[in-house]
Structure 1
Amino acid sequence: MPAVSFQGVAKTYPSAKGALRALDGVSFDIEPGEFFGLLGPNGAGKTTLISILAGLAQASEGRVKVMGHDVAIDFAAARHALGIVPQELVFDPFFTVREALRIQSGYFGIRHNDDWIDELLAGLGLTDKAGANMRQLSGGMKRRVLVAQALVHKPPVIVLDEPTAGVDVELRQTLWQFIAGLNRKGHTVLLTTHYLEEAEALCGRIAMLKSGRIVALDRTANLLAATKGSMLRFKTDDALPPDLAGQARVTGRIAQIATRDANGVEATLARLRESGVRIEDLEIGRADLEDVFLSIMQNAGKAEVAR
């Protein structure tokens, strides 16, 4: 039995221009104990899919199950099997951290949960904040409390929706160490993130969404292996020639250009020299998940235009 199952899920919203189809027949399963990544650009349908899974939105078509429980029919059991860390910082300003976790336990009918609450506080670096009022916490600390609230009832399935957006490196390391430990104990994890290096490091399988459709679904290693060739990475203060600029990924002074083979590397370097582009810190490596993601999204965009 899959931990999470999406079966032909579609979601349509009315709009001034007619029906807007946010999801279009999304189907895939997440097996128990998987660390699964759901990636896509803004507007791809990730949040809509998570909202349907959480019971915050209703699918126009299809079914969603958590540990065998239909989220629309057997909703109480489905909610109990699920712990969701939302993107937004949502908190009650009138309670301390420990009080907030006790109240969250009560929502699931759990009493005398302090031993597990203490373990959550310690694992997420919140022990010294247990008596602090929620409104006194920094954004990063509030994010940690949201994680603790999602885990307070020990759900078998954990959904992390952009959990490290806008937080510091220390929180990321603390969070991933704790979540990875839960995953090793058998918890299923579904992660959405725009930090693709996190998905590459953590996720065994990845699904990619674009315009409400699945455009890639495979093991992370297979997705990386499918992108052949090398990646030139270097720093420069000069503008790239137009023929290279069109295929480069530029972040500040850092430029990355994909090449097919050794001949492509030599040709690219020769073109840079010919154009008078001065480069520093040249590296030649393999494509990472961000390169794979961009390539898949570009090909999916071309396919949409062709349709």
Structure 2
Amino acid sequence: MMNRYYSFGEYLKEIFGKKVYKVNVDAGFTCPNRDGTLGTTGCIYCNNDSFRPSSCAPSKPLIDQIKNGIGYLKARYKAKAFLVYFQPYTNTYAPIDHLEKLYKEALSHPEVVGLAIGTRPDCVDDEKLELLQMLSKTHMIIVEYGMQSIYEKSLAYIMRGHDYSTFLKAVYNTHERGILVGAHIIVGIPTETREESLAMADEINLHPIKFLKIHQLQVVKDTLLAYIYERDPFPVFEYENYLDFIVDFIERLRQDIVIQRLFATSPEDILIAPKWNKTKQEILNDINRRFEERNARQGSKCSFDRNRAICC
């Protein structure tokens, strides 16, 4: 690990010997928490416009989204290899034939080296995992599960629609097939104390999770969370507090876990709170500076039980 934490870019360069960039696509999926299967409003915080790039739109054919994204990344970064990232909503929530068609279409581009698939842990089964296992024999396949929290009280508060045991079952079923596993978590949910949020690092250490995305809770327009916040504001992360929190969290995290994201960002026109008024690069620079100031490193305060842990 060259840096003070294990970044996704560093990991990909180790595997492929060059920089690999993600191409975001929207394949037109929905979610069981929106289509009436579990609910119709989605999770309490969910507004996909908060993270979907403008170039990523389901109105465009998948292959065109990929070609456009690759063209942009080549022109700007001289990129030569790419992961197609199925991002918005639940990207395994469809019949197996449809999934196979989409995934193989994405992998057909000669410069695509793999897929990253964002999904819910209650939307995979043996048939879908067998498909992904087959694809993983020739390409990098990462399944990114929305974990959000380990606490049932928090999962209920955000109206997630599944429990923590469902997440763990999906993680182990995926890992046992040799497929790389990622997790998304949200820190700063009002139901949790700071220490409870930090303790999620200790729990993650015990399981075969290779990649992690960390998001501070953001309140964005057109969500149930915005409705709650505007009527009864709850504490959100202040900027300096978050810098200290994220360093504390990463210090408790296993060294082999790859950090894909350290913070969330949303467009200013829909973000309600917290308002940090910082660019992505400024936030990243400040986090790196805080690591340096504290002489902190990933895993320096990791205290998990190595006899129970399953490292990837």
**Would you say same fold, with TM above 0.5?**
no
Of structures 1 and 2, the larger Rg is shown by: 1
TM-score by length of 1: 0.30
TM-score by length of 2: 0.30
